[in-house]
Structure 1
Amino acid sequence: MSVATEHALATIASILDKPESVKGDERAAAPAAGGSAKKNVATVVPFDQADGYTKVGPGPISAIRFRWTARRGEDGYYVDETVGPTSIAVSSGPMSAEAAIKMVDTRAHEAVDRFELLKSEMIGKGPARR
């Protein structure tokens, strides 16, 4: 590995270890980059409040952070997935309110798992998956 690559990885790892505050919807579980995000993933939300239900994925840079938002459409609920604050949403649906909440929670949980694995590999605390 080159010196430049090692420096880049060290910089990324140091960013990932710093806590971060994220602004957003009070119902959103926005984990800090340095903390345990899994405690925020399972949320009980009444199905009549599914419209606007939001989860934000982990990560040190808002421009590449995923966000999942449930919204009510004419024929059911949809989940909009965006990357960063300015991307165009990719929508899934229509589905029930229960399915929309479950999809948001599942996607957020999977993102936390992938982020924690990547973080462990980058700072040398876990084996690289191949």
Structure 2
Amino acid sequence: MTLSDPTDNALATIASILDPPESRREPDKPAVAAQIAVGPPPIPTSPPPIEAHRYCKFGPGPMTAIRFKWTVRLDNGDYYVDETIGENSTPIVTGPMSREAAIQMVDDRESSARRRFEQLKSEMTERSAAANLARKDDGEA
């Protein structure tokens, strides 16, 4: 362990709590000791709002050249969603819309693309398995 190891700080804090009051000494790093003694920060009751400008999601798939990308952008107080396929395509722009509608559109498009991709992948796996089974039945290896 090193001198700056957080474990050392935690153990020192625990030891100082367990020591009788007359033997207590000030920790080397009061800010860290106070944070550890108090415990972790409280868990927020609701997530912070999503920053809409530049909010982005990518579609599924193994090839970047054909992967969808949805990006929210703010322009003169209105939100737009730019939808591209691959890295260098011209975006299809949807908008203007509200901040919430733009975020929802990106989430919906990504979710829909993921479902379609998983369905297609499942169909391809089933067809491949059926083709392999048919080859084995025909005596091919």
TM-score interval w.r.t. the shorter chain?
A: 0.5 to 0.7
1:45-85: CA deviation from partner (whole Å, max 9, x where unpaired): 625x1000000000010000000000001141000000000
- Is the 1:68–1:81 Cα contact (8 Å) retained in structure 2? yes
1:92 counterpart letter in structure 2:
T
The alpha-carbon distance between structure 1 residues 68 and 45, as it changes in their structure 2 partners (threshold 3 A), is farther
Structure 1 residue 89, shift from structure 2 partner = 0.4
Aligned AA (2:49): P
**Number of equivalenced pairs:** 81
What CA distance in whole angstroms lies between the structure 2 residues aligned with 1:89 and 1:56?
A: 14
1:1-130 to structure 2, matched below 5 A, reads: 46-47=49-50, 49-124=51-126
Q: Which runs of 5+ in 1 are unaligned?
A: 1-43, 126-130
One-letter code of the match for 1:76?
D
Gaps of 5+ in 2: 1-46, 128-141
Between Structure 1 and Structure 2, the one with more helix by share is 2
Q: TM-score, normalised by structure 1?
A: 0.59
Larger relative CO (CA 8 A, sep 6+): 1 or 2?
Answer: 1
Mapped to 2, the partners of 1:77 and 1:106 lie a distance apart of: 16
TM-score if structure 2 supplies the norm length?
A: 0.55
Aligned residues: percent identity?
54
Max radius of gyration: which structure?
2
Aligned-pair Cα RMSD in Å = 1.5
The residue type paired with residue 46 of structure 1 is P
